[in-house]
Structure 1
Amino acid sequence: MLPKVFARYLHIHSSCWAAEKSLLASLRKKTGYTFTNCKKALELHSNDLVHAEKWLNQQAQALGWSKATKLEGRQTTQGLVAVAINNTNATIVEVNCETDFVARNRTFQEMAEIAAQTCLRFTEQQSHITKPLTKINLDSDELCKLQAANGKTLSEQLILMIGSLGENATLRRAVCFKADNDIHLSAYAHPSGMQQNNVLLGRLGGLVAIRPKNEKEVDIEVLGKNLCQHVVGMDPKKIGTSDDEPASNVDDETCFIYQEYIVDDSITVNEVLNENDVEIVDYKRFECGENINNSSPLSTIETCQ
């Protein structure tokens, strides 16, 4: 039989260790950093979770700046496209990394989510815009300057992620739609179409803005999503008008309205629009890594009537 003092010591020690394990697990889950680093952070700060997390972020940021400098210039052709909608505001964002392995990492996915949510909030704040639809194009520099909900810029968030994952990453581009109440916005991402925190993620993504011409009863949600899938799958180069001549070969058609409808190739997109009495106001499609060696356009604001 164990002496009472020794038994009491074991009991106390076991309880302390259980509490430390709980703190360690909590810190790892919250920050995503390694077991060793989280354990060191807790030891340095007497198991104070708040100060341990702050120290980890400081270390990661310092390391991230160093790694970002070393990794700068390494090609980032992989990554994710993130799309998000909130009522009459929408955004599509491309975030790049070096490998598909990192693109599947939850920390990288969270970066894409934060970028999309930040762009969406930025769009919502543009209250001075009153046109039926405004399209705001953001290049990499403009994206990096946007402030996330936690007070950090997207550039600072990116540095933290680079410090954590050890691979080069870039915020490449974004397009934001701001519409009035008469325009319906739809979003779609492919191939995974995974959704986290109301953000859709994939290697390809699309936004479509459509407007009913009258009060005809239409399932606008389904129609919008199908047209968005069409944009992602068929890659139209322009909406097209009645002045455009349809291509002689349907496989070569680049006008949105004259392409075979992806949901039913026996009809064209234009026939679907006429049947439902709606019009396409604008759309945007991103494919991760496309034209990666081309310089990004400067930020612009376009309006549609």
Structure 2
Amino acid sequence: MALSSLFLRNVARSTCSAGPVHQFSSSRTVLDASKVPIALVAQLRKLNPISLSKAREALSASENSVEKALEWLQKDLEVSGAKKAEKVGQRSTDQGLIGVTVMGTRAAMVELRCETDFVSRNSVFKTLVQDVTSTAAFLDVPESEALDPIPLSVQDPLLAFPIEDLQSAPLIPVDPSTSSGQDTSSSSSSPVQTVSQAIRAAITQTGENIQLSRAVSFSSPLPPMFSSSPSLSSEKKPEIFYLPGVYVHGSTGSTNEGTVAALSILSIESTDQARPILQRIGTEDSLGADLQKLARSVSRQIVGFPTKSISRPDFSACQSQSEETGTEEGEISPYLMEQPFMMFQGESRPVQEVLGSWGRDRALDVRVTGMRRWTVGEATEGSA
């Protein structure tokens, strides 16, 4: 009996001590069930290429909702991006790319700088350059309407885009599905990203300081398609078509960004008053294509030589040519109109002469009214 009683007491103790063990095991089962499903992790990473741990963190904080997780990631990116940008903000940025684009009668050129050549060739950085350039071309320069009363033919048609205004503008990506730092979900509630936010996202992804250095933009209204009424011919103003041309050197696989770039503006007027320029472009075979090739050749010429302005500025008669140009005799002039137009069919005649004869052959008056030539990392005055 004593042995039986002892045996029963030991069994009872074993049963009581097993309780907590069984309860702990049950608790582990609950924790396993609360893990984020791998299918949701995969779905989230397809929409936003992040690490596994970050995807699990986002879903766990968002009740396993992919849509909410995308919003959580956006907010987290803003916070981490701001901290990263502040941390690397004092590092020098001597590398980068210059982006150019033409969108019909709109165009822009933007310089984005980074720390190393390695990042400048990174797809994240190159996409960012393209998107910021697209944004600068699509948007109007703030307060530029104050210049409207002045004809483009007597003013610089390329306007400096204030950096602060461009940074606060909504990013207009070339391809929203590949834009740097963009939320690619189809949700209509996805927040609009600004240029500044896109730059911070790229800083987070690349780990380098990235700075928007300068930007210029061009926008031109189209001239009338048909000529004015004969009764108003005495008051008729020239109907001028402004055509942008771009060219880059040192590209990274795209013709829209490189280490040296030029943006030029041609003014084109039909010398045949009965046929306005826009009507001729729409009806004459190859004229539009020929003009685009000419505009590209002008920008290529500007990039190919150390061109600093369109024409020679006015100097007093007592100054010699070497004093005016700052070059030795025999060197190619830094003034576009005086350079041999080598980038246009290997011409040896000056640019001004070639444009004049090319235009006369087609009853056109062709002039270069604006230009910028930028090199990555060069010293700049203001933002232009």
Relative to the length of structure 2, the TM-score reads 0.63
Contact 1:119 1:146 in 2 (8 A): no
Secondary structure at 1:238 match in 2: coil
C-alpha deviation, 1:237, in angstroms: 1.0
CA distance in 2, matches of 1:242, 1:265: 24
Contact 1:33 1:164 in 2 (8 A): no
Fraction of identical pairs, as percent: 26
Structure 2, unmatched stretches of 5+, are: 1-36, 173-190, 223-240, 273-283, 316-320, 360-365
- Which amino acid is 1:146 matched to? A
Q: Say whether 1:234 aligns with 2:302.
A: no
Q: Say whether 1:162 aligns with 2:203.
A: yes
Q: Which moved more, 1:137-146 or 1:282-291?
A: 137-146
C-alpha deviation, 1:243, in angstroms: 6.3
Contact 1:189 1:206 in 2 (8 A): yes
Q: Say whether 1:262 aligns with 2:285.
A: no
C-alpha deviation, 1:85, in angstroms: 1.5
Aligned residue in 1 for 2:75: 58
C-alpha deviation, 1:236, in angstroms: 1.1
Q: Say whether 1:297 aligns with 2:356.
A: no
Aligned residue in 1 for 2:169: 146
- Which amino acid is 2:217 matched to? C
Secondary structure at 2:158 match in 1: strand
Q: Which moved more, 1:203-212 or 1:132-141?
A: 132-141
- Which amino acid is 2:340 matched to? E
Q: Kindly indicate which of the two structures has a greater share of residues assigned to strand.
A: 1
Contact 1:139 1:172 in 2 (8 A): no
Structure 1, unmatched stretches of 5+, are: 1-15, 300-305
- Describe the superposition over 1:71-96 as per-residue Cα deviations: whole angstroms up to 9, x where unpaired: 11100111111111222211100111
- 1:21–1:274 distance in 2 versus 1, CA, 3 Å: same
Q: Say whether 1:190 aligns with 2:240.
A: no
Aligned residue in 2 for 1:3: none
C-alpha deviation, 1:120, in angstroms: 1.5
Contact 1:23 1:47 in 2 (8 A): no
CA distance in 2, matches of 1:298, 1:191: 22
Q: Say whether 1:108 aligns with 2:106.
A: no
Aligned residue in 1 for 2:212: 171
C-alpha deviation, 1:147, in angstroms: 2.9
Secondary structure at 2:349 match in 1: strand
Secondary structure at 2:378 match in 1: coil
Give the number of the structure with larger relative contact order, counting CA–CA contacts within 8 Å between residues 6 or more apart.
Answer: 1
Aligned residue in 1 for 2:292: 221
CA distance in 2, matches of 1:22, 1:33: 10
Contact 1:209 1:283 in 2 (8 A): yes
Q: Which moved more, 1:228-237 or 1:49-58?
A: 49-58
Secondary structure at 1:266 match in 2: coil
Larger radius of gyration: 2
CA distance in 2, matches of 1:81, 1:159: 19
CA distance in 2, matches of 1:168, 1:242: 39
How does 1:17-36 map onto structure 2 within 5 Å?
Answer: 19-20=39-40, 22-27=42-47, 31-36=48-53
CA distance in 1, matches of 2:90, 2:242: 41
- 1:242–1:109 distance in 2 versus 1, CA, 3 Å: closer
Aligned residue in 2 for 1:37: 54
- 1:98–1:81 distance in 2 versus 1, CA, 3 Å: same
CA distance in 2, matches of 1:234, 1:119: 26
Q: Say whether 1:274 aligns with 2:315.
A: no
Match of 2:267 among 162, 187, 211: 211
Q: Say whether 1:284 aligns with 2:364.
A: no
Aligned residue in 1 for 2:184: none
CA distance in 1, matches of 2:330, 2:169: 42
- Which amino acid is 1:175 matched to? V
- 1:176–1:75 distance in 2 versus 1, CA, 3 Å: same
CA distance in 1, matches of 2:129, 2:292: 25
- After superposition, the CA RMSD in angstroms is 2.9
Number of residues of Structure 1 aligned to a counterpart in Structure 2: 274
Aligned residue in 1 for 2:275: none
C-alpha deviation, 1:240, in angstroms: 0.9
Relative to the length of structure 1, the TM-score reads 0.78
- Which amino acid is 2:247 matched to? Y
C-alpha deviation, 1:286, in angstroms: 1.6
- Which amino acid is 2:336 matched to? F
CA distance in 2, matches of 1:175, 1:270: 25
Secondary structure at 1:280 match in 2: strand
C-alpha deviation, 1:66, in angstroms: 1.0
